[in-house]
Structure 1
């Protein structure tokens, strides 16, 4: 067994591209329920009401959709230095140091074999709520505003890759991540892997790319406190004309209660609740799901719909995605 590495503290933020910036921003603020903590000519910096950092979603104007970069925060300056050294010693693509966004200091960027850009940093800007957003309880980052679906915090994202085994090597080498659950296909390939850098069940998933493209996003997820909030969110999305792709159902893998929608530009976003499930065992062995297991579908609810396997962003030129 490989010694667990905790140089990385947590998933910090995701940059999402949109070619319908105004519509996407309105969705994330007024329907999904995030708060704008900063904005410039190119991007809006958003956060859920109990995220402690300045932002967890960077929404950026672009000619298409998808993911710009994925950011993790290191556990300390020394941990950041250790991870940088490990990445530089690896065979993965190094981009180098970049100036930070308004929400954090300089960051070290690198790339997975499929074109997804990652960054790690330590120096951060902790959110300071203005007077109208200050909570009465000192242990909350922001008051509970109950606007839209009002998720509590950033939870995870799912990326697409042509070789999940190679992506697993990237995550273990560069971020010191552990696999908590995975799909083993009959042909020997890994169909998906769920990774954690701490004691959460997962903060990033990677599943097979079926569109023949690269650097694509499957979805970004924020967490709610309860399942009931997801049921209410379904009504909110319905009333606001948001495309509900699938759910609410319960995943077999990781056991999350979920709801998937498409924001106005077509990026898939999820609300999820995993209860209090944590990975506390230091010698946790990955749970392996077979192809037969997966053909049974979700834990309960409707069967997985076709678009869940075919739709990603940016869209693949010349291919119809349902």
Structure 2
């Protein structure tokens, strides 16, 4: 299936936290993100090279998890086409007034119940004088604080039925599966989907607990692989729980570090930014259960919590 190009890219993500002050400390002081306004119990945060108003909406909540994922379309006409396609599925919620920095937004759910929004109008970030970069093709000056994450990279959802959600993103939003895992019984346990030349924007992973609409992780790209090695020391010095890594994924070949922010959400730091897919006739790479049993690229085994820990938490998950 070829790319439709009606969806341009992942715009921003809303993350819920029951520890708003501690989570804000993590994203600003540890990851090095910049505050760019508030809205009630929510704080808008941005990485230094995302061009839009915000990369993350951090919202105080009674529990952890993901609020909504926002995808920017390539034009108003593209937005209208995708809205019509969504409404034919019965998954639409409806039009909403856009939040800070973006225009009218259409909300809907994927088959698993995750909240997603589409929009076109976007006000590009205009940094204040103290954050103006020396290079005019950069969104803002490098903050020189914490890890210094460069941009929002992808979102990984947990889902009851991976293929059902992957089909929805492909058929209705125009995405394409670049890589996937197929179990011995033919079940698809994970899919990586993209909308442009970046190899993945959204990921669906099987939730072994049988739950719905949970978050596996939100990923931020660093400028270099060495930033991830440095990030591990920063996490260690500041008492942030490291779940796994630094290491290299076999799938998508991403160098990674996974940590839990104070609200309980899993955060990935990754480099390189997802690989480029230049082939217009890209053939989906399918990994078998046997191949995945070998672990990550250099032999590190996938840890059990990777399949069970998600947010919001469920009974029995002490993490």
User: Which interval holds the TM-score relative to the shorter structure?
Assistant: over 0.9
Q: Distance in 1 between matches of 2:268 and 2:178?
A: 20
Aligned to 1:14: 13
Aligned to 1:293: 291
| Matching of residue 36 in structure 1 with residue 35 in structure 2 | yes
Q: Secondary structure at the match of 1:22?
A: helix
- Aligned residues, how many? 319
Superposed displacement of residue 320, structure 1: 2.8
Q: Secondary structure at the match of 2:32?
A: coil
Contact 1:249 1:258 in 2 (8 A): yes
Q: Which of 161, 164, 180 is the aligned partner of 1:163? A: 161
Aligned to 1:263: 261
Unaligned runs of 5+ in 1: none
The superposition leaves residues 169-210 of structure 1 with CA deviations (integer Å, 9 ceiling, x where unpaired) of: 110122100000000111111010000000001011100011
Q: Distance in 2 between matches of 1:170 and 1:250?
A: 29
| Matching of residue 154 in structure 1 with residue 152 in structure 2 | yes
Distance 1:321 1:4, change over 3 A: same
Contact 2:2 2:280 in 1 (8 A): no
Aligned to 1:51: 50
Superposed displacement of residue 68, structure 1: 0.4
| Matching of residue 319 in structure 1 with residue 311 in structure 2 | no
Q: Distance in 1 between matches of 2:39 and 2:221?
A: 27
Give the TM-score normalised by structure 2: 0.98
Superposed displacement of residue 314, structure 1: 0.3
Aligned to 2:229: 231
Contact 2:252 2:274 in 1 (8 A): no
Contact 1:251 1:299 in 2 (8 A): yes
Superposed displacement of residue 226, structure 1: 1.1
The superposition leaves residues 263-289 of structure 1 with CA deviations (integer Å, 9 ceiling, x where unpaired) of: 001100010002673000000010000
Query: What does residue range 275-294 of structure 1 map to in structure 2 within 5 Å?
Result: 277-294=275-292
Aligned to 2:26: 27
Runs in 1 of length 4+ with deviation above 3 angstroms?
Answer: none
Contact 1:65 1:314 in 2 (8 A): yes
Q: Secondary structure at the match of 2:220?
A: strand
Distance 1:135 1:73, change over 3 A: same
